[in-house]
Structure 1
Amino acid sequence: MSASLPLGPFNWLKGEGRPYALGDVRSRKMLRTVEEKHPYLKKRAFNRYLRIADSSTYHQADMWLEDVLNRLNLHDDFGGLKADSPFELFRSFSENVSQRLEREFTGHAVAVDGKEALHLLIRETNKAGMPFPVDQKDLTDKEKVIPGMARVFDPAWWRRKLRNKAYQNSESVYRELGLVSKAKNLYVSEYNFRRYLAAQASNAELLELLTAENQFGYTATLASLKERSVSNPRNRRNETMMRIGGLEDYANENGHVGVFYTLTCPSKYHATHQNGHMNGKFDGASPLDAQKYLNKVWGRVRAAFKRKGIEIYGIRTVEPHHDGTPHWHLLLFLDREFLPEANRIFHAHALEEDGDESGAAENRFVIEEIDPEKGRATGYVAKYVSKCIDGHEVGEDSYGNDAVESAARIRAWASIWGIRQFQFTGDPGVTVYRELRRLKNIEGNREGLLQELEIAADNGDWKRYVELMGGTCTHLKDRPLRALMVPKPTPSKYHETVEKLKGLVGSAGQIITRIYDWTISRTRPTGDDLQCSDSCEVAVRGANAPPWSSVNNCTRRPYGI
């Protein structure tokens, strides 16, 4: 049914110079919900709705709009929890839903039986917007069911899960409506970027308030300990570049060559063009869907390499396009004789899906064979590492923006979508290296290979460390050292036995590197938004602490929208 623009709930479109067709009563009801609950999205949502209806059918437009509302609506209870609600509301919801589920489970277990009560708990958990944290096949395993129930009864578990869901659901909608692009908000929406910054500031404040003390009386704030760790962007960047440089030195010494690959997703994974206009080929894929696609391609390439006997080592970096779609840069080292075949294999798999679309041959996959006469291979990847961490000495990003500011947005993007920015392949890994560096503070006489490894780590000599650890592309079981994991003396709050890193073990010997037992205390009272009982675990595990937000999304528009 077609009609001119109606008055009432959609009169904000009046006077825009064209007649509008609207669907049935259900369509109008959904559009009215957008206007009432998410007013800052109404014009973009309405225009997108009409474009879908014009190019397809109202049924398709209704399905799209229903999906948008489902993503934005986390739960109807307790006033209606939305994906774009201020995070302050998540605390009361989490406490209410966890307490209600525990009461209902206990009451049903007493009135009926435990098995029926468990199935009731699973149904109610799903209705509350979260899958039960135990696989269907494991519901008869008491060792897995009890920890799952403990999570459902824990408000902190609900807060963490709901925040992640809120971030990703709202971000997917903002991205789909063109609010994440070079023309609007680069890499991530402004609203979620500010939520991320608020969470980081809240975490930083909490770390200043918490003090760690070991059994020898040494004390330090968690903030100062974080500053010395790889959680500090500067330290993370330096360590990453040290590892890349060491691998290049190892490659040069062994006669291997370097190659730099860039892998990009097909057009259907990209939401918008750089001018902010919607991409007509976009199929609604999230950055996580795009990352899964890239992982699938890489998995097939690695399998093909293995079948051909091609051994590779190096680093993969991930960064977002302007609209938040990830793409990869890979710096790989390999034997020169295998380079042509490796290029052929990678190219074939990179263009296997939609390889005939316009621009695919030029943009989807790029190979740069590294010429040592033009500079070190490390230089090819250095700027990508820096602009994804802190923007150090980069100047401007790919879109002409300040690299330091862009790096903060990229970190927010990676955190929101849970995307690992850097991953090495083929080298011995960094855990053993970091534990070896702890030995300089531990008295004792080390001999043989263990002593050599300690010296290499203490000197930051990654090439020597790789050599002593058995070289590249060596199985973990064949390396002289690996992490020594031991069970913690007490179960976790979810009644699970948890292992912790204690030292190193292997053919090179065994040594304890974690000699301190730490207790964490609060130095002074915190505000209501930094409850230690809720936030200590959040800060230590690196998740988002309760962030500040001054936006009531039912009455005001988020920043940048």
Structure 2
Amino acid sequence: MNFARAFIPDPVWAAGRVAPLPTRWQGRLLDAWKGAHGKDRRGANVALREVTEKLLQVRIPLDASDAQLCDAAQALADRCASAAERIHEPFALLRHMEAIAEGQGIESPYRCGQPVGPAIARLTCHQWWRRKLRAHHGRAVEAAAIRLGYVRKGREIYCSTDTLQRRIQQNARNHASLENTTATNELGQEYTLAELAAKGPANKAIRRAELMTRIAGFERIARDMGHVGLFMTITCPSRMHRMRTVGPKGAKVVVDNPRWDGTLPRAAQAYLSKVWARIRAKLARLEIGLYGFRIAEPQQDGTPHWHFVVFHEADKVAQVRGAVLVHALRDSPDEPGAHAHRVDFKAIDWDRPDGSGSAAGYIAKYVAKNIDGYRLEADLHGNPALETSARVEAWASTWGIRQFQQVGGPPVGPWRELRRVEALPAGVPAHLVEAHNAVNKLAKFGGQDNAEAAGRVAWDHYVRAQGGVFCGRDYRVKVAQVEQDKLTRYGEQAGPRPIGVETTSVEEWIPESIKAMHPMDRYGFEPLRRTVHWLVESTRHEWVISGRARSNGRVSIGTAQPGPWTRVNNCTEGVSNGHGRTAAASGQVHAGLCGSAHAGAYAGEAIHGARVVPAGGAGGVPGAGETGAGTDHGGAGAGWLQGEELQRWREAHMCGPWVPVRGGGRRKSAHTGGRTGAALAAWLERTVHGPRLPND
């Protein structure tokens, strides 16, 4: 029997491949396919198939806004939480939730050998889903834009416009939430979270000023010690660049790079990290120390490259450059232009008469470009500085790239913690006093105000107090931490929290028993030496969320105050109890709970587990006897059960223990008497939920 093979014309096949995608993306894909189809029919078809396969793995629409991503996260968290009402065996429940995550292209949070409770808690948390969906969706969309050639000079430089718009929406959403949330400390001081955030490194101006302070401090140390400075740039091989620039100077054009192997910015960043790790290892074997800063920024097509400003001993110039060249050109060393463009060195000349040889002055434009565009009019490609900084920030956020990293020297953590220390006790070591003065705006060094030194003095004095630029991990002043006796929202042990600074000193000590023996030299006694551990607590306030402004302008104040905390936790919208949106707040009627006495309790239990009632509180269902949807049931200091404790509470208060049915087969709840369907719903209304209310 002869079978005639059906032939589908390429345009019809291509239209079918892009049909499930949004209209805008259909046009993008078909335009790119038509442009390549005339030159390479098979290559164009393969490229279209690969791109559409990756895009179709993203279940959320490609043109979804940040608000739609948040709504999808809430819906997926609710879907996982509702599975717990049907599946009561922990591992079976976890497998069901993992299938939901895998269907969205999200990796399961469970790791072999760990308890399942924290993984289940994450899969039922809308915040966890929001973070994962933003990363997965954003990277998939950005990868497609790079493959299609939209991320390039002259079109959508550094990142796609879709990514930029979503990032702007996310920042606006976060800012509005901070502005509408009020916190009160133990002194009665009340601020919005936006005001508190503006006092730390989250403020772009403060972040930029701190970076410039540290860079200028390193430069001052280098000049005092007779070291030399070096600017260098390390770029990825040609195979990692989607686009390339060709043509004579003044008439350059951007074209597709035929050598591109599909490498995306995150993989390129990992490559640069590996190269730098090898360079550091080689320099360590040569006993050469570096200190300074590294800045990662995108090229026109989103491929990262690294800028360095580093300082080292004057007689090590050739060895430093040799180590960098060996490893930076290890990949594709013979490609055209590798030695001319992949690595660039520029020595710092501090003796230039025009004063332009400053390391801080040179690196300032890169710092501003990657933060807020301060005092810049345009970038190297002629784009406005503010738009450039916004695109660079969106690029770094999407691909998870760390923009700034210190090289060598002591860490910045103790420096920031010392700024919280108001005064030092008497008798502390001299290096702790020097470090504290270095971060104190009112301190003076050599008769010069630290504030007047514009940041040039503070960091270098702090580094010297810590043991110098080559102190490594043996720096003297460390952040003091204590273990916390509490669990995280996912039921895991909370990490240590900082309480101040600590250091050690060696002092001379004379025991009381021999102090009266004078003169001591007559008896041959010398003062003993002992190590003293110093711990100086820093000033920290305990902040409590006291109100949230709703969309109608009113402020919602919780009936029960949550436990005190010292970090901003932007985890809810529209309610004040900090346990997620209730069914009533989201406009949904779930299991007849809206408006009932247990509506707020159910919303918390569905996401976080059962509420723990303090001693002396009401028993039974948490919050029993209270009214009002969205209230915080259980009283002050109450927590949320997780994992096995949550299962035991549900067995004791809602479902009862699971017992085998006579004759084998499915099991039933002793409390519900095996009721199902309408009978079970009626029983729940009478005993647990309250009557079902109609939709508004």
* TM-score, L = length of structure 1: 0.82
Correspondent of 2:226 among 246, 255, 269: 255
Indicate how the Cα distance of structure 1 residues 193 and 268 shifts in structure 2: closer, same or farther if over 3 A, else same.
Answer: same
> In the TM superposition, what is the alpha-carbon distance from 1:37 to its structure 2 partner?
2.0
Show the counterpart of 2:388: 406
Indicate how the Cα distance of structure 1 residues 309 and 53 shifts in structure 2: closer, same or farther if over 3 A, else same.
Answer: farther
Show the counterpart of 2:162: 191
Correspondent of 2:25 among 21, 33, 41: 41
Paired residue total? 505
CA distance in 1, matches of 2:476, 2:199: 28
Show the counterpart of 1:216: 187
Indicate how the Cα distance of structure 1 residues 503 and 255 shifts in structure 2: closer, same or farther if over 3 A, else same.
Answer: same
CA distance in 2, matches of 1:238, 1:324: 26
Show the counterpart of 1:88: 67
The answer on 1:342 being equivalent to 2:323 is no
Show the counterpart of 1:11: none
CA distance in 2, matches of 1:82, 1:379: 45
Deviations 1:386-438 (A, max 9, x none): 21112222332111222233112211211122111110011111111111111
CA distance in 1, matches of 2:337, 2:53: 35
The structure whose Rg is larger is 2
Deviations 1:454-488 (A, max 9, x none): 11111451101000001123232x22121222234
CA distance in 2, matches of 1:25, 1:140: 53
CA distance in 1, matches of 2:121, 2:387: 41
CA distance in 2, matches of 1:319, 1:444: 44
The answer on 1:202 being equivalent to 2:186 is no
The answer on 1:368 being equivalent to 2:342 is no
Correspondent of 1:378 among 353, 360, 364: 360
Show the counterpart of 2:591: none
CA distance in 2, matches of 1:381, 1:340: 23
Deviations 1:339-398 (A, max 9, x none): 101101101211111121122221111011222212222223121112111222233211
Show the counterpart of 1:480: 476
CA distance in 2, matches of 1:405, 1:91: 25
Greater length-normalized contact order (CA 8 Å, ≥ 6 residues apart): 1
Match of 1:467, SS state, is helix
Show the counterpart of 1:165: 136
Match of 1:355, SS state, is coil
Indicate how the Cα distance of structure 1 residues 54 and 462 shifts in structure 2: closer, same or farther if over 3 A, else same.
Answer: same
Correspondent of 1:73 among 56, 65, 69: 56
The answer on 1:395 being equivalent to 2:377 is yes
> In the TM superposition, what is the alpha-carbon distance from 1:235 to its structure 2 partner?
1.1
The answer on 1:64 being equivalent to 2:40 is no
The answer on 1:231 being equivalent to 2:207 is no
CA distance in 2, matches of 1:206, 1:532: 15
**Residues 258-269 of structure 1 mapped to structure 2, 5 A cutoff:** 258-269=229-240
> In the TM superposition, what is the alpha-carbon distance from 1:318 to its structure 2 partner?
1.0
Cα pair 2:197 2:203 within 8 Å, conserved: yes
CA distance in 1, matches of 2:21, 2:557: 33
Cα pair 1:181 1:273 within 8 Å, conserved: no
More off after superposition, 96-105 vs 243-252: 96-105
The one-letter amino acid of 1:497's match is Q
> In the TM superposition, what is the alpha-carbon distance from 1:511 to its structure 2 partner?
1.4
Cα pair 2:105 2:136 within 8 Å, conserved: no
Correspondent of 1:315 among 280, 283, 293: 293
Show the counterpart of 2:490: 494
CA distance in 1, matches of 2:82, 2:570: 31
> In the TM superposition, what is the alpha-carbon distance from 1:45 to its structure 2 partner?
2.0
**Residues 287-306 of structure 1 mapped to structure 2, 5 A cutoff:** 287-306=265-284
Cα pair 1:267 1:281 within 8 Å, conserved: yes
Cα pair 1:83 1:165 within 8 Å, conserved: no
The one-letter amino acid of 1:171's match is E
CA distance in 2, matches of 1:169, 1:179: 14
Cα pair 1:105 1:121 within 8 Å, conserved: no
CA distance in 1, matches of 2:86, 2:174: 38
Show the counterpart of 1:3: none
Indicate how the Cα distance of structure 1 residues 504 and 43 shifts in structure 2: closer, same or farther if over 3 A, else same.
Answer: same
Kindly, what percent of the aligned residue pairs are identical? 31
Please tell me the root mean square deviation across aligned C-alpha atoms, in Å: 3.0
* TM-score, L = length of structure 2: 0.67
Match of 1:37, SS state, is coil
Deviations 1:218-260 (A, max 9, x none): 2211111222211111111111011011111111222211111
> In the TM superposition, what is the alpha-carbon distance from 1:316 to its structure 2 partner?
0.2
Match of 1:412, SS state, is helix
> In the TM superposition, what is the alpha-carbon distance from 1:271 to its structure 2 partner?
1.5
The one-letter amino acid of 2:462's match is Y
The one-letter amino acid of 1:71's match is K
Show the counterpart of 2:80: 101
> In the TM superposition, what is the alpha-carbon distance from 1:532 to its structure 2 partner?
11
